[in-house]
Chain A
C-alpha cells in the first residue's frame, strides 16, 4: 500500500489517500473502512440518458464518486473489497443520494475520510505501508487423502485449494488400488502447487504431513517434474522444505509455524509471532491460571488494575458495527500501552487469530496473579459469555 496523502487534524478528523498495490492491501483496507466513513474513488457506472424524442441510451462511464459507506463486503478468496453506499457528492452523471457500489481496484488510489481516526486505524495504515512486512510463504499441509494448499502472507492465511481424495485402504492382495489412489492424490496436489504458488513472490514452500507422506510426495513431485519437464519446480527445488505436522487439516498449520526450522527461516512473519504469543498464553493458563485471562469482562478488570503485560486481541473486534464498542476496545488497547504493556493485534485471517476469535477474541497475560478475578467468576459469568457471543457474530 502506498500512502499518497494524509490530512488528519488535532480533533482526529481528516482524510487519507491510499493506493493498494497487492491483494493483501485489500485486507488492510477492509480493516480500515468502517460503516459511516466516506470513500472517494474512481469507478465505472452505467448511465442512462433519455433523449428529447424519448428513446433512451445507456452507456458506461468512468467517473469519480464519493459515497458514505453503508455495507462492506470482502471476498477472501479473490481479495476483492466492495463498498456500498449513497452518493454524497453530486456530479454530472450521478445524483445526490443515489446508491452505488464501489469496487476498490488495485493500483487506483482512493480517499478515505473518517469522522474520527483512532490509533488502531492509523497504525493499520503504517503497517500496511511497511514494505518489509511482505514475506510470503506457501504451505502444503497434507495427509493421505487430504491436502490444503495455503498461502501465508503477513496478515492472511489463504487456503488456495483443498484436495480431498478417498484412497482405498490396503487390503489382502489388493495393494495396487491403494497405490494408484495415492499417485492420483499426489498428482492433484502437485498440479495445485503449480497453479497456485507464484514462485516470484513466495520465498519458500513448506510441505508438512504426518508420517512419510511428505517424503513420498516430495519424491513423486520431482520424479514427475523431471519426467514432464516442469521447469518451474526444478528451478525452485531449493525452496521446498519438509516439516512435520500431525494431520492434513488446516489448523495443523499452527504446528508447522512452531517448528524450530521454520521459525529460523521466517523469523519475523506476523503469523509465526501470533502463534507463539497464543501458545504463551496457553502455557500461562496451564502453569499459573491466575495470570492468564480471557473474555472482555476479565480483561477489562485486569486492565483497570494495570496488570496486563501482553494483550492479545483479534482484529475482528475492531471491525464491529457499533462505534461505541469499537471505542471501548481502542481505549483498552491505549490504556494497556500507556501502562507499558504489549498489545498484539491478531489477524483473524490467520490460524491463531481464528482460534483467538473463538476464545472471545480477547485474552491477556498478566504481570502478577489476580486470583480474585477467578473467584468472582460466578456472578459475572453470564456477561462474559454474552460478550464472547457478540464477538463471534461480528
Chain B
C-alpha cells in the first residue's frame, strides 16, 4: 500500500509545513490559495466543517475529480462546501435568506451561495444592486482567471521565502477581489494560523498563550503522520489529522463556558444543604421533588436534611445524614454552566473527595460559623484545613469561602470578621493568592444570600458584597489544553443502557470524538469509542475539561479499573512502577523514612506504594539541596523521593502534564505529603 501515494487524501499542510503558517486552513480560497491545495479536494477539511455543509450546502457532494479545466465550478463548489454562514442576529438572518432566495430565482444555481450572501450583505440586501453585481461579475470572470494565473506565479516565487517573510508580504499583496467581506475577516484569523489556538471568531474561548513547544501544531502534525505510518494499528484519518482548536471553535464557540466546582469543608458544615438549596433556588429541582424530600425527611425526624437529600441519594447517606461519595449536579448562571461536585466532609471519605477534587477547576470552601464548630473544623485534624490544602495541592487556585450558618450567631459581623481573619492567614500560608479568595456570609438552610442579595436586616446592615451565585459567576474559567494529546482519567465504570459498558471521567487534555481509537490504562489495550455523552446528552466530540461518559468497545470491563488513564494511541502516556517526585511533607505524626508504605492518590487512582528512596531533602523556597540521602523527613520539609508501586500505573511528569503529574501520599487516613512527579523510570 505504501507505494501508492494517496494523493487525494493527502494533507498538504503537512507536505509544505513552511507555508502552514501562512495558508493555514482558510475557508476562502480565492484570495489566498495559490498552492496546489486550491485545486485539490481535501477530505479532512471537508469533514471539519461538516455541520456547515449539512445545513447549508445545496449541492450534492460527489467524488472530486482533478479536472483543472472547470475551475469556476470547482471553486464554487468548494466555496459552498466549506462556507459557514456569517453570524447574524435574527432580523438580519431573515432579510438575508429572503434576499438569497430572490437572487437564486434569477440566477439559478450557477452562482455559489457564498457569493450571494457576501454580495447581498455588501449591498445591504438591495436586490437590484446585488443582481447587477453578480451578473457583471459573471461576465468578467474570464478576465479574472487570467489575473489569477499571474497571481499564482507571483505566489509560487514566494514559496521559496521563509514563512514569516511570506506572511508579511502577503498582507501587502493586493487581493484579486478587494471587496471587504465578512469571510475575509475569518481569513485574517486564518493567516495568523487558526491551529495556534488563536481565534477571533469565538468570543468566549480565550486565546491560549501557553502552549509548549511539544504541542505546536506544525510539529504535532508532522509527528502524527510519521508515527502513523509506523504505528501497528490504523487510525482513522480524521483522528490523525484532527485540528482540535478548529473543532472546538466549531462546537463550543456559541456555548456558555463550563467550569467544575467542588464544594469542600468539614463534616456537617452544611455543604450538601447549601448546594441543595442553591439548586432549588436556581430552579434545577422541581417543587414536587422538593416536597417529597421534605415529607420523607420529616418522617425520619431530620427535616433539616431536606436540601441535602437533593444530592445525597443513596439510602445509606440519607439514613446517616452524611455525604459519602461525591454528588454531582449542574446549574446554569448567566454566563456559565457550572458542574457542582459535592464532596463528603467526613475524614474517612477523603479518598472520594480527592477523586472529586482532581476534576474540579475551582473550589467552594464551606465553614460553619457556629461557635465551637468552626474551631473544631479548623484546628489540627479538622477537615477545613486538610481539604483546603488538598485542593490547593491538586491545582485548584480559585477559592470561594462560604461562611455558612451565620444565622445561628445572629448574623454577627464580629464573628464573620473573626473567621475571615483566621482563614485569610491560613489560606495565604496554604498558597492561595489573596485576590483569588472571596468570603461570603450566608445560610444554607434559610437560603439567605444564596441566589439573591442579602434580605435579612441584620446582615443587610453590614454586608454589601455579592451573593453566592454571583461569586460563582465571577470565577475565572481556566485554560483548557485542547491542543494537547488526549488524556482522560476514569473515575467510574458502570453498565450502560445499551451494549458494552460506560466509563465516566474527565478529559484532562485533548479532544475525543466518536469512533476514535484510544489506549486504556497501564495495559495499553486498544479500544474504540462508541458513544459519548455529556450531562445525558449525546455528543460527537468532547474537549478538555469536560466531564463525560464514554461507551467503549473492544476492551474487557475487567481490564479497566477506576483511576486508569485513557490516552491517545499516537502519544501514549508513560507507564511505570517507579518514579521520582518532589514532595512537601505536611504535619506528620511519624517521619517518613525509606520503605515507608503509603497510599498513592493520583487522579482517581488509589494504589499502595512504598517510598523506596529518599534522594535529597531540599530547601522549601530556593529548591537547593540541603542534604543528600536524609535519614528521615520530618514535618513541613520538602524533598525528592522515589516512590514504587506494586502494579504499573500511568503517570506523567509535572512539567509535561500538570494535571497528571500531581500525586498525594496518604497514610492511615491522613494526608502526609503532596508531590509533583519529576522523573519517570
Alpha-carbon distance between A170 and B352 when the two chains are bound, in angstroms: 12
Interface membership of A224, Cβ < 8 A = no
Question: Residue among B325, B494, B632 with the most chain A CB within 10 A?
Answer: B494
Given contacts A172-B328, A285-B593, A358-B612, contact A211 B628 (CB under 8 A): no
With A169-B325, A355-B597 as contacts: A285 and B610 at CB distance below 8 Å: no
Q: Does A171 contact B (CB under 8 A)?
A: yes
Q: Are A175 and B313 in contact (CB-based, < 8 A)?
A: yes
* CB–CB A249/B590 < 8 A: no
Q: Are B590 and A289 in contact (CB under 8 A)?
A: no
B349 lies within 8 A of A378 (CB): no
Residues in A neighbouring B668, C-beta threshold 8 A = 246, 252, 254-255
Tell me, in angstroms, the Cα distance from A171 to B349 when the chains sit together.
17
Evaluate contact between A285 and B632: CB separation under 8 angstroms.
Answer: yes
Would A359 and B594 be within 8 Å (CB), given that A211-B349, A252-B668, A285-B632 are in contact? yes
Interface centre among A254, A282, A374, A381 (most CB of B within 10 A): A282
Q: Please give, as numbers and ranges, the residues of chain A lying within 8 Å of B632 by CB-CB distance.
A: 285, 289
Q: Which residues of A contact B227 (CB under 8 A)?
A: none
Asked if A177 lies at the interface with its beta carbon under 8 angstroms from chain B, I say yes
Contact of B629 among A250, A252, A381 (CB under 8 A): A381
Query: Mask for A348-385, Cβ within 8 A of B = 1, else 0?
Result: 00000011111110000000000000100110010001
A168 contacts the other chain (CB 8 A): yes
Q: Which residues in B have their C-beta under 8 angstroms from that of A210?
A: 348-349, 669
Q: Is B589 an interface residue (CB 8 A)?
A: yes
Asked if B158 is at the interface of the complex by the 8 Å CB criterion, the answer is no
Counted as pairs of residues, one from A and one from B, with CB atoms less than 8 Å apart, the total is: 118
User: What bracket does the count of chain B residues touching chain A fall in?
Assistant: 35 or more
- A225–chain B nearest beta-carbon distance, Å: 21
Cβ < 8 Å to A, chain B residues 566-613: 588-591, 593-597, 599, 606, 608, 610, 612
Question: Are B631 and A249 closer than 8 Å at their CB atoms?
Answer: no
How far apart sit A246 and B324, CA to CA, in the bound complex (Å)?
Answer: 14
Nearest residue, chain A, Cβ from B560: A166
Once A166-B493, A179-B315, A360-B595 are accepted as A-B contacts, the answer to whether A246 and B329 lie under 8 Å apart by CB is: no
Quote the shortest CB–CB distance from B525 to chain A (angstroms). 16
- Is A45 located at the chain interface by the 8 A CB criterion? no
Q: Note all chain A residues with C-beta closer than 8 A to B590.
A: 279, 282-283, 285-286
Q: Is B492 an interface residue (CB 8 A)?
A: yes
Is there contact, CB below 8 Å, between B328 and A171? yes
Option from A171, A250, A357 in Cβ contact (under 8 Å) with B595: A357
Known interface pairs A247-B606, A279-B590. Does A171 touch B492 (Cβ–Cβ under 8 Å)? yes
Q: Name the A residues within 8 Å of B316 (CB-CB).
A: 212, 216
Nearest CB of chain A from residue B214's CB, rounded to whole Å: 33
Q: Complex formed: what's the CA distance from A187 to B315 in Å?
A: 19
A388: CB under 8 A from chain B?
yes
A255 to B597, CA, bound (A): 12
For B494, the chain A residues whose CB sits under 8 A away are 168-169, 171, 174, 177
Question: Which residues of B have CB within 8 Å of A170?
Answer: 313-314, 325, 327
- The answer to whether A211 and B595 touch across the interface, beta carbons within 8 angstroms, is no
Within 8 Å by CB of A177, from B346, B348, B495, lies: B495
Chain A facing B: main interface SS: helix
Q: Is B5 in the interface zone, CB < 8 Å from A?
A: no
Q: Which residues of B contact A286 (CB under 8 A)?
A: 588-591, 634
Is B529 on the interface with A (CB-CB < 8 A)? no
Given A168-B494, A211-B346, A359-B595; A294-B351 close (CB under 8 Å): no
A82 at interface by CB-CB < 8 Å: no
Distance of A352 from chain B, by nearest CB (Å): 10
Closest residue of chain B to A169 (Cβ to Cβ) is: B492
Contact: A377 with B329, CB < 8 Å?
Answer: no
- Pair A385/B591 contact, Cβ less than 8 Å: no
Q: Mark B11-36, 1 if CB is under 8 A from A, else 0.
A: 00000000000000000000000000
The count of residues in chain A whose C-beta lies closer than 8 Å to any C-beta of chain B is 48
Is the C-beta of A251 less than 8 angstroms from some C-beta in chain B?
A: yes
Alpha-carbon distance A112/B492, docked complex (angstroms): 56
In the bound assembly, the distance between CA atoms of A273 and B231 in angstroms comes to: 56
- Say whether B320 contacts A212, CB under 8 Å: yes
Q: Would you call A360 and B597 a contact (CB within 8 A)?
A: no
Within 8 A of B (CB), among A150-176: 164, 166, 168-175
B557 neighbours in A (Cβ, 8 Å): 166
Instruction: Please name all residues of chain B whose beta carbon is closer than 8 Å to the beta carbon of A354 when the two chains form the complex.
Output: 597
Provide the residues of chain B in CB contact with A124, threshold 8 Å.
Answer: none
A201 to chain B, nearest CB (A): 28
Instruction: With A359-B595, A385-B629 as known contacts, state yes or no: A178 contacts B610, CB within 8 Å.
Output: no
Distance in angstroms between the alpha carbons of A104 and B612 in the assembled complex: 36
A282-B314 contact in complex given A166-B561, A168-B493, A358-B612, C-beta closer than 8 Å: no
Interface residues in A272-289 (C-beta closer than 8 Å to B): 279, 282-283, 285-286, 289
Residues of A close to B595: CB separation below 8 A = 355-360
- State A250–B561 Cα separation when bound (angstroms): 18
Contacts of B325 in A (CB 8 A): 169-170
Q: What is the interface of chain A, defined by CB distance below 8 A to chain B?
A: 143, 145, 164, 166, 168-175, 177-179, 210-212, 216, 246-247, 249-252, 254-255, 279, 282-283, 285-286, 289, 293-294, 354-360, 374, 377-378, 381, 385, 388
Chain B: residues with CB nearer than 8 A to chain A? Answer: 313-316, 320, 324-329, 346, 348-349, 351, 491-495, 504, 557, 560-562, 588-591, 593-597, 599, 606, 608, 610, 612, 627-629, 631-632, 634, 666-670
User: Beyond the given A170-B314, A358-B594, could you list 18 further A-B residue pairs with CB under 8 A, ordered by the A residue number?
Assistant: A164-B561, A168-B492, A168-B495, A169-B325, A169-B326, A169-B494, A177-B495, A179-B314, A246-B348, A250-B608, A289-B591, A293-B631, A355-B596, A355-B597, A358-B612, A359-B596, A377-B629, A381-B629
A sample of 30 cross-chain residue pairs with beta-carbon separation below 8 angstroms, ordered by A number, consists of A143-B351, A166-B560, A166-B561, A168-B492, A168-B495, A171-B494, A171-B504, A210-B349, A211-B324, A212-B316, A212-B320, A246-B667, A246-B669, A285-B590, A285-B631, A285-B632, A286-B589, A286-B591, A289-B632, A354-B597, A355-B595, A355-B596, A358-B595, A358-B610, A358-B612, A359-B594, A359-B595, A360-B595, A377-B631, A388-B594
